[in-house]
Chain A
Amino acid sequence: MKNKKVWIAIAALALAMIAMDCVLAFAQPTLQQGSKTIVVEVIHKDATTKEFTYQTDETYLGDVLIEEGLIVGEESELGLFVTQVDGELADYNVDKGWWQLSKDGVIAQTGVSDTPIADGDHFEWTYTIG
């Protein structure tokens, strides 16, 4: 009887895993192929802003920005951790500063390496304290 309960629990766990996989597949954004034009706005620590326009065939934002030399970062198991944007380094240990990525003013839900791009997208990198 006890073994039966354990096997039911294992089956439930497996079903939960499958369900979450389905949620993930359903929520994945569709990837746009072909040439796209995107705008990336950088808001520096001193509040000055710069805008960069890129035309690219890349699918993910990280690939474009690395190729264009706009960002520098460290690879981690969670993806690229961006430390430098447009030549400005953010060091959390110095001033609790870090670079925040957003799209049309909304904080990005994925890292720069996993953020897909579409034609006309507008991204922002904001130097953030704390």
Chain B
Amino acid sequence: MGDHPARGLWVRDLVLYALLGAITFAAKIVMAPLPNIEPVSLMIMLWGAELGYRSIFPTLVYVGLEWMVWGFGLWNINYLYIWPLLAGAAWLLRGMQSPLGWAVLSGAFGLFFGALCAPVYAISGGWAYGLSWWVAGIPFDLLHCIGNFSVALILFYPMRLLMKSLFTLKN
């Protein structure tokens, strides 16, 4: 087995994406005692803005860890599309420099989190069940919105700068 630069780079990137996914999961656990504050949205947006399509890898690592720890349910299906959706939105808006703009994206994601999850419940239990499931969760969505907005407003810009400088060092 010779030293193949392309294969080495591929393995290094895989390890990096796995670590990013694991860090996302670990950060969520660490911040769990703080009510309605979660770093996942912030980090998935960072991966989306800086890694493009490759953000799917750390995102799926994070989702996989959630499944392994919390078990299986309808929410597993939600997580398969919700977080990649956020990463995709972040990639589309990657040119945006305004911290307020990123805070709005994160806040909007938190606000509509329940609405994004509801279709799975509607398909499983009927539209009335899906609708009432969404309505019952609105208080949590409102708090999720405020928490996401605040965290992104403060942390997204400096963390993005840090990520850019770390990637510059790596390359």
A residues whose Cβ falls under 8 Å from a Cβ of B? 2-3, 5-7, 9-10, 13, 16-17, 20-21, 23-24, 27, 77-78, 92, 107, 109-110, 114
B107: A residues at CB distance < 8 A: 13
- In the bound complex, do residue B132 and residue A6 qualify as a contact, i.e. CB atoms below 8 Å apart? no
- Interface positions, chain B 144-162, Cβ under 8 Å from A, are 145, 149
Chain B, range 109-166, C-beta contacts under 8 Å to A: 111-112, 125, 129, 132-133, 135-136, 138-142, 145, 149
Contact of B104 among A3, A6, A109, A114 (CB under 8 A): A6
Contact B132 A109 (CB under 8 A): yes
Given the known interface contacts A24-B135, A77-B35, the answer about A13 and B145 at a Cβ–Cβ threshold of 8 Å is: yes
> Nearest CB to that of B140 among chain A residues?
A78
The reply to whether B142 and A17 form a contact with Cβ atoms under 8 Å apart is yes
Q: Is B23's CB within 8 Å of the partner chain A?
A: no
Contacts A16-B108, A23-B135, A27-B135; A6 near B141 (Cβ below 8 A): no
Cross-chain contact B139 with A107 (CB below 8 angstroms): no
A6-B100, A6-B101, A10-B104 known; A21-B142 Cβ under 8 A: yes
Contacts of A16 in B (CB 8 A): 108, 111-112
* Cβ of B41 to closest chain A Cβ, rounded Å: 14
Q: Is the Cβ of B138 less than 8 Å from the Cβ of A110? A: no
Contact (Cβ within 8 A) A110 B141: no
B-to-A contact residues, CB < 8 Å = 35, 71, 97-98, 100-101, 104, 107-108, 111-112, 125, 129, 132-133, 135-136, 138-142, 145, 149
Q: Are B136 and A109 in contact (CB under 8 A)?
A: yes
Q: How far is the CB of B120 from chain A (nearest CB, A)?
A: 15
Are B132 and A10 interface neighbours, CB within 8 A? Answer: no
A13 touching B108 by the CB < 8 A rule? yes
Shortest distance from the beta carbon of B154 to any chain A beta carbon, whole Å: 16
User: What would 7 A/B residue contacts be, using CB atoms closer than 8 Å?
Assistant: A7-B100, A13-B104, A13-B111, A13-B149, A23-B135, A24-B138, A27-B132
Q: Which residues of A contact B108 (CB under 8 A)?
A: 9, 13, 16
Q: How many Å from the CB of A7 to the closest CB on chain B?
A: 8
Checking B98, B100, B142 against A20 with a beta-carbon cut-off of 8 angstroms, the contacting residue is: B142
In Å, the complex CA distance between A16 and B135 comes to 14
Q: Which residue of B lies closest to A25 (CB)?
A: B138
Residues of A within 8 A of B35 (CB): 77
Assess the B136–A110 pair: CB atoms within 8 A. Answer: yes
Task: Write the chain B residue with the least CB distance to A130.
Answer: B72
Taking the closest CB of chain B, its distance from the CB of A102, in whole angstroms, is 12
Given the complex, which residues of A lie within 8 Å of B139, measured CB to CB? 24
A10 to B153, CA, bound (A): 12
- Taken together as a complex, chains A and B put the C-alpha atoms of A109 and B132 apart, in Å, by 6
